[in-house]
A and B are shown apart, each in its own frame.
Chain A
Amino acid sequence: MDESHGGTGVNRGPEGRSVDVRDLRKTFWDESRGEVRAVDGIDFDCQPGEVFGLLGANGAGKTTTLRMLATILRPSGGTAHMAGYDVVERPEDVRRNLGFYSASTALYPRLTARETLEFFARINHYPSARVARRVGELIERFGITDYAGVRVEKLSSGMKQKVSIARTVAHDPPILVFDEPTVGLDVMNALGMRNVVRALRDEGKTIIFSTHIMSEAEKVCDRIAILHRGRILALGTLEDHRERTGKHYLEDIFVQYVTAVPGQDEEVGAPYGPAANGPDGEPGA
């Protein structure tokens, strides 16, 4: 069970869930704002071969949630199991079964693309004997061949993005976390990213995909959780959300959920209202 490299051969929680989050909380103390509940008791689970979307405005608690799942932050309360491992009790095992991609996880600029993939495969305990073959496969799959020997600092942003995705899956983890992966990308690169996510889903990976772009969530996610002020307001497939709200577009659905929260009416649509400065105490949350 511990040697779970190889796609979907993963420890699972009850009922085959690869991600199981229960009453997860994160509270910060901020000098100016006092106690801040960045994540306020959320529950969800994910299955292999599913893209689970976390949709929310900036500051809704998406990044804090994902950082807790990636064991970067310690939860203030609740539990989270990734590939069957508790994020507090077994953080190294969680990270071994996880690929984490975000704007704040840049590549080492002085390594070449090939060295980068080798490093991440090895440090995430991919079997040593298979590292060279795995790196070769990734280089071919992501079209990195022409610049595999070039240092990352000399690559274009599109090339870096490919290397970055390749390093996220270098150790073939069963669970992948993409935190706002298309932020800052041009249209073609964003499209490429979404295609990669779909392809990885089709391979049986569990994917948690956070975004604040409604159209992106519509296109990529199998199920969507609407996150607002650290709480999940609604969770289900896009069809579920349409049925519940009577709205067609996710943007309208999102607005309806958020305005239903007491005291939110005046904030929605206000260009620089309090909603734009969410409760998270963490940078990039």
Chain B
Amino acid sequence: MNWHDVWIVFGREMRTAFRERTVIVNGLLMPVFLYPLMLWAAFTALVFVQGLTEGYTSRVVLLNVPEAHRALVDTLRAREDVDLREAGVADALWMLDDGELDAVVEVLPAEGGAAALADNFRVRVRYDRLEERSIQARIRIREIIDDYQVGWVQREAEAMGIPEDELERFRVVPRNVSTGREMGAIVLGQMIPLFLVVMVAVGCFIPAIDTTAGERERSTWETTMTVAASRLSVVTAKYLHVAALGIIAGVLNVVAVFVSIGAVLRPLLGGSDGGLSFSIPWLAVPVMSAGAACLALLFAAAMMILAAFAKTFKEGQAMVTPVYGLVLLPLVLGTQTDRTLTPLLAAIPVANVAMMIRDALAGVFHWPLIAETLAVTLTLVAGCMVLARGVLRFEEFLLGSHDGSVWRFLKRRLGRGRHGPAGRVQAGAEALGD
């Protein structure tokens, strides 16, 4: 292979790619604008719907309220957005079932350490998960009760002379102990790996088809086959160009999401930043870059192998589209926040890279597992290379005389037609081996 030739063909491919509108849209505009805009639109719509449900008055029945907490009833009655109704347990549940109530709140004695404080309590809220109004009522009632309970515990403790730092054991109200930075890392960890994988795939998609099936359709494939560069140099240049465009799409997307995440989430957090802080550990940058590069090399190889069998761009699209499904399937594993990379998960392609990046964003670096992840991905890339090199040796593939179908090609190569009668003739002899 001659790297000077590779560079010349690579330059030609990149130049022509950036003059193609679909490449610009898929490889540059979509990564920069699509996901930030989509997220912003989704969150804004969510807030709008939430606003509509917040306008409803919550119809609530409060059961078993001890005398010590009559103030809670008064608090609820004082609220304009709560309609406190009277009913027994059975009737209340029936009304909830019938849609006449939004929530049934039952006050119960506190358990565990919290029970050490006399009259302390916990609540059970019954609501209809299928009704947006009921869900909203649950959230609203919990907030009111939690506020009341925090204030009550504080007052009781003061009266009993219990120091502030010992109050924790009496609390029943859940409290977020994560810092804004940690929360930000979780949010980024949910979004960036997912978007990066999808965007690298999107970035590779059009160029992989354009440089193979597109060339056949435009009758420039044979033109490329007649230049003095070796087949290996030409294919390497095409491959690197597809991978490069995938990496560009992925990196642009990460930068766009990172820059815009605060503004995108603002509507959801009520116009503030919600105490979230978005920053990426410096070590995560090389890990993400390595992950994006490996994914791009893998997707480019897989997509090009399939697209190269097609005779037209349309055929190429049909052949490569299933790769998306294969990408998204393991990705479901890779975006689960309650797991970190394990030796087993590091062996699952695509999911391993997504999890590696998510861990890195959270500041978790399991170096042996990162090495395993990269090794697994690069092994797959090498496998694709071997396959591509094998396929390239066949003339019917080079000339596109196999009817544009992977299956027909395989059938001819593996089936009865392989050697013809008495094994005299190869089905499309091997191409020149340069």
Contact = CB atoms under 8 A, between A and B. Distances in A.
Given A31-B417, A73-B431, A76-B429, A124 B424 contact: no
Interface in B209-267: 218-220, 222-223, 225-230
Interface in A17-71: 26-29, 31, 34-35, 70-71
A100 B426 contact: no
Contacts of B8: 119, 122-123
Nearest to A87: B432
Given A91-B434, A111-B16, A106 B227 contact: no
A74 B395 contact: yes
Nearest to A105: B223
Interface in B1-42: 5, 8-9, 12, 15-16, 19-20
A29 B227 contact: no
Contact of B432 (A71, A110, A124): A71
Interface string A98-131: 1010111111111100010001101111000000
B66 interface: no
B420 A125 contact: no
Given A34-B421, A74-B395, A92-B228, A104 B219 contact: yes
Contacts of A91: 230, 432, 434
B65 interface: no
A282 B123 CA distance: 80
Determine the main DSSP class of B at the interface with A. Answer: loop
Contacts of A87: 432
Contacts of A108: 12, 16, 218, 220, 223
Report which residue of B226, B230, B428 has the largest number of chain A beta carbons within 10 angstroms of its beta carbon: B226
Contacts of B388: none
B157 to A, nearest CB: 75
A88 interface: yes
Contacts of A88: 432
A162 to B, nearest CB: 16
A283 interface: yes
A102 B226 CA distance: 11
A201 interface: no
B397 to A, nearest CB: 12
Contacts, number: 115
Which of B20, B400, B430, B432 is the most central at the interface, judged by chain A CB atoms within 10 Å of its CB? B432
A151 interface: yes
A104 B434 CA distance: 21
B236 to A, nearest CB: 14
B261 to A, nearest CB: 36
A122 B218 CA distance: 22
A282 B417 CA distance: 16
B223 A72 contact: no
Contacts of A76: 425, 429
Contacts of A151: 19
A220 B99 CA distance: 93
Contact of A123 (B5, B395, B400): B5
A106 B218 contact: yes
Nearest to A71: B432
A3 to B, nearest CB: 12
Contact of A29 (B9, B398, B420): B420
Contacts of A74: 395, 429-433
Given A87-B432, A105-B223, A108-B16, A35 B424 contact: yes
Nearest to B215: A108
Contacts of A31: 412, 417
B218 A109 contact: yes
B427 interface: yes
Contacts of A98: 226
B401 interface: yes
14 contacts: A28-B429, A29-B419, A29-B428, A72-B399, A73-B395, A74-B432, A91-B434, A96-B228, A105-B222, A108-B220, A119-B12, A281-B401, A283-B400, A283-B401
Given A92-B434, A108-B223, 15 more contacts: A27-B424, A28-B428, A73-B395, A74-B430, A74-B431, A74-B433, A100-B226, A106-B220, A107-B223, A110-B16, A115-B15, A120-B227, A123-B9, A282-B401, A283-B400
A-B residue pairs, 7 tightest by C-beta: A106-B219, A96-B228, A29-B420, A110-B16, A105-B223, A110-B19, A100-B226
Interface of A: 26-29, 31, 34-35, 70-74, 76, 87-88, 91-93, 95-96, 98, 100, 102-111, 115, 119-120, 122-125, 151, 171, 281-283
Interface of B: 5, 8-9, 12, 15-16, 19-20, 218-220, 222-223, 225-230, 395, 398-401, 412, 417, 419-421, 424-434
